[in-house]
């Protein structure tokens, strides 16, 4: 059996044994993919609920109604809630970060503003990244829509480290700590901070460590910022068996 397509409907569209697709999702299903009555699809609400093997029972010009035979919780989701705080690189490269990191299991994004940041995201960027995260969630068969926060200054973010079970900062001169971490109890929430092309300043690194952040090496080779973010997220999820 071919893999079912994933579609999104907000939680309020799930009523009783049915869920309705409207707007872009309805258009894509009926006009682009040409699904018909009786076809089976999966619909997720972005909050961890998935109507797996849902059956299309009605469709007109405005809405498609699906019977939800089975609701599955947290399909495709890692047990670790990983927040990637990534300095925004030039151009559209943060688009790539959001898309690919969502595919591997990152749960939330924070566009990070640090001393060496070259980009200050303009208005409308956050909403664009949220839409990209939604598309990547469906493509990668996940059920939780990753949150994309508003751009946050580095020192302000460090004040929230205590809210996470583990906080990690990618830094090229430090030893790899993940082997040791993998022997400890798996954290429920991890904050991962990745800097810009110029790296974090000494003051930023010192402040992060004093705030409770551990340092993580990404290896001997210098990586672009967006590559570093994906590599770091992959290493963290793999260390806890969640990739």
Rounded Cα distance, 164 and 160, in Å:
8
CATH number attached to the domain at 6-73: 2.40.240.20
Pair of tokens at residue 125? 């960027």
Structure tokens at 8: 């999104």
How many C-beta neighbours within 10 Å does residue 223 have?
A: 17
pLDDT digits (tens, 9 = 90+) for 1-43: 346 789 999 999 999 899 999 999 999 998 898 889 999 999 9
Assign 175 a pLDDT band (cuts: 50, 70, 90): low
Fold of 81-239: Alpha/beta knot (3.40.1280)
Q: How far, in whole angstroms, is CA 56 from its chain's centroid?
A: 29
Give the residue range(s) of CATH 2.40.240.20 domains in the chain: 6-73
| Prediction pTM value | 0.90
213: helix, coil or strand? coil
pLDDT, residue 1, reads 39
Give the tokens for residue 111.
């566009």
Q: How many CA atoms lie within 13 A of 117 on its CB side?
A: 19
Please write the tens of the pLDDT for every residue from 78-125: 999 999 999 998 888 999 999 999 999 999 999 999 988 877 787 789
């Amino acid at each position: 059996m071919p893999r079912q397509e994933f579609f999104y409907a907000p939680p309020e569209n799930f009523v009783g044994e049915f869920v309705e697709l409207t707007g872009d999702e309805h258009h894509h299903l009926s006009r682009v993919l040409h699904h018909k009555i009786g076809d089976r699809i999966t619909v997720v609400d972005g909050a961890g609920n998935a109507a797996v093997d849902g059956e299309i029972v009605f469709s007109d010009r405005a809405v498609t109604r699906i019977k939800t035979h089975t609701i599955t919780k947290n399909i495709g989701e890692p047990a670790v809630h990983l927040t990637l705080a990534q300095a925004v690189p030039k151009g559209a490269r943060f688009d790539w970060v959001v898309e690919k990191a969502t595919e591997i299991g990152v749960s939330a994004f924070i566009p990070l503003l640090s001393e060496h940041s070259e980009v200050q995201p303009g208005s409308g960027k956050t909403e664009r990244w949220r839409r990209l995260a939604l598309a990547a969630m469906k493509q990668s068969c996940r059920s939780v829509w990753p949150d994309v926060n508003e751009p946050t200054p580095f020192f302000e973010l460090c004040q929230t480290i205590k809210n996470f079970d583990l906080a990690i900062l990618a830094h090229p001169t430090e030893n790899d700590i993940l082997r040791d971490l993998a022997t400890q109890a798996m954290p429920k929430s991890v904050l991962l901070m990745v800097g810009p092309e110029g790296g974090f300043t000494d003051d930023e690194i010192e402040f992060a460590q004093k705030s409770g952040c551990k340092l993580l090496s990404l290896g001997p080779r210098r990586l672009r910022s967006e590559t570093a973010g994906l590599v770091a997220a992959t290493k963290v999820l793999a260390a806890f068996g969640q990739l």
